[in-house]
Amino acid sequence: MHITKDLVAASATPLVLGILAEGESYGYAILKQVNELSGGQLEWTDGLLYPLLHRLERLGHVESAWETPPGGRRRKYYRITDQGRAELAEQRRQWATVVDALRGIWSTTNSIKPIMAPAWEAGR
Amino acid sequence: MTVDRDNDLEGQIAEWRAYMQRRRELQHTDAEELEDHLRSRITELSESGLRNDEAFLIAVKRMGSLDELSREFAREHSERLWKQLVLPGEPDAPTAARSRRELLVMVLCAAVAALAIKVPGLFGLDLSGDDAGFYARNASLFALPALAAYFAWQRRVGVRVIGVLASLFVLGALAANAYPLADDSQSIVLTAIHLPLALWLVVGVAYVGGDWRSDRRRMDFIRFTGEWLIYFALLGLGGGVLMAFTANTFGAIGLDAEGFIQSWLLPCGAVAAVIVSAWLVEAKQSVIENMAPVLTRVFTPLFAATLLAFLAAVIWTNNGIDVERDVLILFDLLLVIVLGLLLYAISARDLAARPGLFDRLQLALVVSALIIDVMVLVAITGRITEWGFSPNKTAALGENVILLANLTWSAWLFLGFLRGRMPFARLEHWQTRYVIVYAIWAWAVVLAFPLVFDFA
């Protein structure tokens, strides 16, 4: 299944904030976690996570620090701030509303007409 | 075998990193962060059984296209597209330490120059009073030795070059002060104008690190001169605003700051600005687009149009040029401007590029300036005997001839280039060679004119 770009972009911020709310992390680990959480369905272009993290940092939702584990590579860790937690709560409320609305619409459309692949796609 | 492969992988990663760092949207730390990501991805892929090079390819592919990545980074960090001035941002220690040291030495040189201009005051030479003549003819001797010293330090020139520089400055100081010139003589004005030019070319020797025979380095000095003028003008504007505010804010509380401005802020600021501008040009060389060629592009068509309109007006109205005493100076300045436009067009030109519309415009500009100047010279020769050869007339005429010779030959070379008979490099070569003529002339005016004209 391919998830559209717009949807990926819209869900990126709450996903990243949600992951960071569980504890500090770094880019690659965040990406892996997103991948696991979505069962491999949510595919991000790896590099684009970083501009997003930098934007969240500029907005004050997260803060970062370079850390060097003994014998390891220097790595940039991100940590959620209080403001970030507030933002996450706000995003949760918004998403809950959207999901509720969608659920409502799915149940009505389902009862009228089952989802069927359009004819022009069936032939592919 | 594995060692080989690891080396291979390191090489590939290094190449990728270099490629990333060429994008100015991506700073050093961003590249480092992305590299960490890339390595994590490669490790994971290798652990799942891929060969290193395969893992590298997939990891790079998953990172996304560099264009898209830089676009996103640019959107987030738009300030990076504006190259930041004053302090360089690169965190690599050696570069930062070096630029800090350069900054320190620059400040030191600027301070020395600023103090130097106050030293004669200790011996009772008043800046604003009767000794203005002393300051006028010595002005360049306060700032330019410090500037030369800065370049001598920065280029690590040898003892021999330092000796040459020092003796030339001493020679300049002697010429400005040893001759018994009256404060209202023409020669003293000529010295005040030509000594800075002569010493500026001495600074050029320091600028090129003593390698003054090299055409490429001379061209660099010409480029430097153009940028330096622009920075100096900008600093001057800022300084003007500063002085206006100083005078008016102190005036508002009933204190008169005029004295401080005239005897400290203005002279010390001006000589320090000479050094600071030079440092700015050097520090920003690779950071900002050079301004002089841009201005040249803007003004070459405008000047060409003006000169052609002038020529057309002369022919149409049949008015001769009114040969007044100052007209030679006016047309000297015109030639200087045309030469400047030519020089800075050359300085930024890709030598291998084919002739284009702009080159034709440039030739039109040079040729129309030449025609106008010849008209002036023809009109003036008749009257020169009438005036006699005063120092001013001789200097103005000599400069006119020097510039005329340069531009005539330039026009000839330009024509050859436009017709595809000559490489453009010939023109550049001619201009860089000609610098020596300016040097000889400026020194001749400073050293020989007072003697020839009996200190008139």
- Which of A5, A28, A59 should be substituted to probe chain B, the one whose Cβ sees the most B Cβ atoms within 10 Å? A28
Residue B16 at interface with chain A, using a CB cutoff of 8 Å: no
Cβ-nearest to B64 among A45, A58, A66: A45
What is the chain A residue with the closest CA to B59?
Answer: A46
- Which of B13, B34, B72, B78 should be substituted to probe chain A, the one whose Cβ sees the most A Cβ atoms within 10 Å? B72
Average pLDDT for residues A21-28, to the nearest whole number? 91
In a domain, A118, yes or no: no
Q: How far is B36 from chain A (nearest CA, A)?
A: 7
Interval B310-364: pLDDT, tens:
989 988 887 777 666 677 788 888 889 999 999 998 888 877 778 888 888 999 9
Residue B167 has a pLDDT of 95
| Beta-carbon separation of B64 and A27 below 8 A | no
Residue B6 has a pLDDT of 67
Burial of B381 (0-12, 13-18, 19+ CB in 10 A): exposed
User: Residue A7: is its pLDDT beyond 60?
Assistant: yes
Q: How far is B65 from chain A (nearest CA, A)?
A: 9
Cβ-nearest to B37 among A46, A54, A55: A46
What is the chain B residue with the closest CA to A54?
Answer: B76
H or E segment to which residue A26 belongs: strand A25-26
User: Residue B231: is its pLDDT beyond 90?
Assistant: yes
Q: Of chain B residues 52-81, which have a CB less than 8 A from chain A? A: 59, 62-64, 68-69, 72-73, 75-77
Identify whether the C-beta of residue B400 lies closer than 8 Å to the C-beta of residue B377.
yes
In a domain, A95, yes or no: yes
| Beta-carbon separation of A74 and B37 below 8 A | no
In a domain, A121, yes or no: no
Among B454, B414, B404, B456, residue whose Cα is nearest residue B434: B404
Cα–Cα distance list, B264 to B179, B181, B344 (Å): 29, 27, 35
Cβ-nearest to A47 among B36, B39, B64: B64
Burial of A103 (0-12, 13-18, 19+ CB in 10 A): exposed
Q: Chain A to chain B, count of Cβ pairs less than 8 Å apart?
A: 55
pLDDT band at A119 (very low <50, low <70, confident <90, very high): low
| Beta-carbon separation of B34 and A47 below 8 A | yes
Give me the CATH number covering residue A38: 1.10.10.10
In a domain, A117, yes or no: no
Residue A124 has a pLDDT of 44
| Beta-carbon separation of A46 and B30 below 8 A | no
Residue B84 has a pLDDT of 53
Interval B354-398: pLDDT, tens:
888 888 899 999 999 999 888 888 877 767 767 677 788 888 888
The torsion defined by the Cα of B156, B158, B159 and B163, in degrees rounded to 10, comes to: -90
What is the chain A residue with the closest CA to B66?
Answer: A47
In a domain, A32, yes or no: yes
Amino acid (1-letter code) at residue B182: A
What is the chain A residue with the closest CA to B64?
Answer: A45
In a domain, A54, yes or no: yes
| Beta-carbon separation of A51 and B34 below 8 A | no
The reported pTM is: 0.71
User: Residue B200: is its pLDDT beyond 50?
Assistant: yes
Count: domains in chain A: 1
- Which of B23, B40, B42, B78 should be substituted to probe chain A, the one whose Cβ sees the most A Cβ atoms within 10 Å? B40
pLDDT band at B86 (very low <50, low <70, confident <90, very high): very low
Interval B148-186: pLDDT, tens:
999 999 888 889 999 999 999 999 999 888 888 777 788
User: Residue A122: is its pLDDT beyond 50?
Assistant: no
Burial of A101 (0-12, 13-18, 19+ CB in 10 A): exposed
H or E segment to which residue A66 belongs: strand A62-67
User: Residue B269: is its pLDDT beyond 90?
Assistant: yes
| Beta-carbon separation of B36 and A74 below 8 A | yes
**Candidate ranges A59-68, B113-122, B239-248, B371-380; pick with highest mean pLDDT:** B239-248
Among B268, B263, B343, residue whose Cα is nearest residue B299: B343
In a domain, A112, yes or no: no
Residue B1 has a pLDDT of 45
Average pLDDT for residues B63-72, to the nearest whole number? 83
What is the chain B residue with the closest CA to A53?
Answer: B76
Structural domain of A21? 5-106
Q: Which of A15-29, B18-32, B431-445 has the lowest mean pLDDT?
A: B18-32
The torsion defined by the Cα of B307, B309, B310 and B316, in degrees rounded to 10, comes to: 150
Considering chain B, what is the average pLDDT of its residues? 85
* Percent of chain B with pLDDT strictly greater than 70: 90
pLDDT band at B454 (very low <50, low <70, confident <90, very high): confident
Q: Which residues of A touch B75 (CB under 8 A)?
A: 51
